Amino acid sequence: MAGTKREIPQEVIERVKKLREEIEYHNYRYYVLDSPVISDAEYDALMRELKELEEKYPELITPDSPTQRVGYPPAKEFREVTHALPMLSLDDAFEEKEVLEFDRRIKRFLNLPEDQDLEYTVEPKMDGLAVELVYEEGRFTVGSTRGDGYTGEDVTNNLKTIKSIPLKLFSEDGLPIPRLLEVRGEVFMRKEDFRRLNEERLNKGEPPFANPRNAAAGSLRQLDPNITAQRPLDIFFYGVGRVEGYEFKTQWEILTTLPKWGLKVNPLVRKVKNIQEAIAYHHEMEKRREELPYEIDGIVIKVNDLSLWEKLGTKARSPRYALAYKFPPTQVTTQVLDIVVQVGRTGAVTPVAILKPVQVGGVVVSRATLHNEDEIRRKDVRIGDWVLVQRAGDVIPEVVMVIKERRTGQEKPFRMPENCPVCGTKLVRKPGEAVWRCPNRGCYGQLVRHLLHFASRAAMDIEGLGTKVAEALVDRGLVQDIGDLYYLKVEDLLQLPGFALKKARNLYEAIQRSKKTTLARFLYALGIRHVGEVAAQLLAQHFKSLEAIRKASMADLMSVPGIGPEAARSVWEWFRNERNLKTLEKLLQAGITFEEEEAGETSAEKSLAGLTFVFTGALKSMTREEAKRRVQALGGRVASSVSRNVDYVVVGENPGSKYERARALGLKIINEEEFLRMIGEKS
Ligand code: IVH
């Protein structure tokens, strides 16, 4: 370019140099050390001053000036960069025994005794994308992605937009700066920033990123560095390539020296004495994984002594001196078999994807939340789709996105039901709200209570199904009517809070056992209004089959001795309600069978017919429940409280106040032996 060279005052040259040094130092304090020593306003003032001087004297602009982090024009394509030393990948291990084998193999290779301690570094395995940065004479010159390990893409200008990357290396405490330093690290995006970015994208109608790693990769591999500049990326360095003018002896030395040059290293890195400590570090990180602001997918274990690296050498694509000890993956793909809706405590109706069961984050997942109707539409999830499912920690599994490439055309869109799946009430959606709600206040509670009644001792007698379990079953949408109970699998029960395999199996078996019951118990369990234990017994005795009761007319029902008009109407109506019939069908389909009453089924044998018993105190030979069943089987009744209508009060050990009251009323009091004789258990 032609033109007269103008004189630039020496003070300006000095000032520009000073400003750049200061700004880089404050960048380092802020982005690398996370401990700024000046306010944002002061920093902005320095930056502004530098920009103004550079505008006035453009001749002074250099590529490593802090003003040059942004403002590069978009590229047409990425230039290829060859890595002087290949960027290898790591062997994966998921099990402790593989890690122990890794340690043994190294010792065998090095001819070391198996029980000798071998030092390792342990580092979080960042889930982002690997890059290599070249510093020549301390200046950042070229940055590239890992690519296939041998050649990557030139993303220098994009990397420059990451504020924690120094454009020039520092020299802390007179530490020499290498002539050449190839440094390797992982570019990543924080979970919080990822969430915000995806929200923005969804609002703009752009497709969201599946996870922070994809977001980081997508952001770094932008042809326009101005876009990258708007993405909140960061980096942790973990290794070196070629180094000239400095010598490292250990990996630990690398990890502790890089920060002194201004290159950020994850503060969680550690040096350990032996492989056991490395395993302990893995457990510790797995526990802390959730709370970390960025995603890690395991730890990396590296032999500390670099001279051993050479001896151990590398295999085709991975070194023998390092291992990735991974956590179970938190995102996997599977197929949506169905979409159902569940009703929560507050009446919120949530669509849930029923999945082909898969292992995610260490547990089998067969359901994932779809949040709400808008979310399904936004993600366009259809029945039959292949989806990416995510589960982190204790969080409910969710469908992240559809893998549209796998669509066959057979997928069916989902339509939100108009009525509540539990109680049938018309659902409502308030303006401005994303959720549909069941306006029936009692709906959730009704179902929980219904379940508890159904499972109670005198009904289906399902041990282990108490309030907490009933609530959790409804909360998770595992049960929408009592019929669903019999379709629960052990793996469904494993999702309940506090349920391990044993507990889940026990409950499963208790549910299965309850299928064998009596008609009277079943009728009582259905929870038909005005049909208590006694009425259920009377109906069962009279009609003998469920079918007969179902078909019975009002007159038939009213003709049963002991069944009043209210109960008769209630039964008649129950069997004419479509939802009830559906539930009934589900129950019968599940294989509920009715046994004959245990004893005294014919009226001739009903020795206790017309008699009412009350029990107090503990019986030695049977449970209270069994005793009750015996009395009922023999045509008797068991009352829960003492009154003049009671014929016998059976007194066991440590009787309570019922005994006192029975005496006060002058009722017949018998002991356990006398009772057993009465029911024919003893002669
Ligand atoms: S060392 C030869 N250290 O994991 C050793 N890698 O499969 C090469 N990664 O591509 C890598 N954190 O993207 C190393 N602390 C760490 C790491 C790490 C994440 C990634 C890196 C690499 C992949 C290896």
Active site residue 125: yes
520: closest CA among 510, 508, 504, 534? 534
* Ligand 1 contact via 146 beta carbon (within 6 Å): yes
Query: Looking at residue 308, which CATH number applies to its domain?
Result: 3.30.470.30
Separation CA 69–CA 609 (nearest Å)? 94
Return the exposure string of 511-537: e unless at least 16 CB atoms fall within 10 Å of the residue's CB, then b: beebeebbbbbbbbbbbbeebebbbbb
Per-residue pLDDT tens digits for 275-308: 999 999 999 999 999 899 999 999 999 999 999 9
pLDDT at 650 over 90: yes
Which CATH number fits the domain that encloses residue 352?
Answer: 2.40.50.140
Q: Are residues 110 and 202 in the same domain?
A: yes
* CATH number for the domain harbouring residue 673: 3.40.50.10190
Mean pLDDT for the chain overall? 89
User: Does one domain contain both 59 and 186?
Assistant: no
pLDDT at 476 over 50: yes
Number of domains in the chain: 5
Report pLDDT digits (tens) over 369-388.
998 998 899 889 999 999 99
The residue with tokens 């990416």 is 388
Same domain, 404 and 457: no
Nearest residue to 260 via CA among 130, 156, 166: 166
419 in a structural domain = no
Calculate how far, in angstroms, residue 320's C-alpha sits from the geometric centre of ligand 1.
14
**Distance from the CA of 82 to the center of ligand 1, in angstroms?**
18
Instruction: Specify if 2 maps to a domain.
Output: no
Tens-digit pLDDT profile for residues 30-52: 777 767 778 777 888 899 899 99
Is the C-beta atom of 319 inside 6 A of ligand 1? yes
244-264 pLDDT per residue, tens: 999 999 999 999 999 999 999
Q: Is 432 a domain residue? A: no
197 CA distance to ligand 1 middle (Å)? 25
Express the helix, strand and coil content of the chain in percent, nearest 5 each: 40, 20, 40
Same domain, 53 and 96: no
| Residue 70 pLDDT > 70 | no
Is the same domain home to 267 and 364?
A: no
Ligand 1 site, residue 269, Cβ cutoff 6 A: no
Read off the pLDDT of residues 625-647 as tens digits, 9 standing for 90 and up.
878 888 887 888 888 888 888 99
Tell whether 130 is covered by a domain.
yes
CB of 437 closer than 6 angstroms to any ligand 1 atom? no
Q: Are residues 538 and 489 in the same domain?
A: yes
**Are residues 354 and 483 both part of a single domain?**
no
Catalytic pick from 18, 51, 76, 125? 125
Residues 357 and 382 both lie in one domain: yes
Q: 164-168, 207-211, 535-539, 603-607: which range is least confident on average? A: 603-607
Same domain, 398 and 452: no
Is the same domain home to 63 and 101? no
Residue 457 belongs to what domain range? 444-594
Same domain as 342, residue 269: no
Domain endpoint, select from 392, 414, 436 = 414
Contact 351, 298 (CB under 8 A): no
User: CA nearest 239: which of 82, 141, 357, 126?
Assistant: 126
Q: Which residue among 594, 619, 647 closes a domain?
A: 594
CB 202 within 8 A of CB 137: no
Q: Determine how many CB atoms are found less than 10 A away from the CB of residue 224.
A: 14
Q: Read off the CATH number of the domain in which 585 is found.
A: 1.10.150.20
Separation of alpha carbons 36 and 26, rounded Å: 7
- What is the CA 174 to chain-centroid distance, rounded? 49
User: 202 pLDDT band (50/70/90 cuts)?
Assistant: confident
Same domain, 121 and 255: yes
**pLDDT tens-digit map of 120-133:** 999 999 999 999 99
Secondary structure letter of residue 464 according to DSSP: T
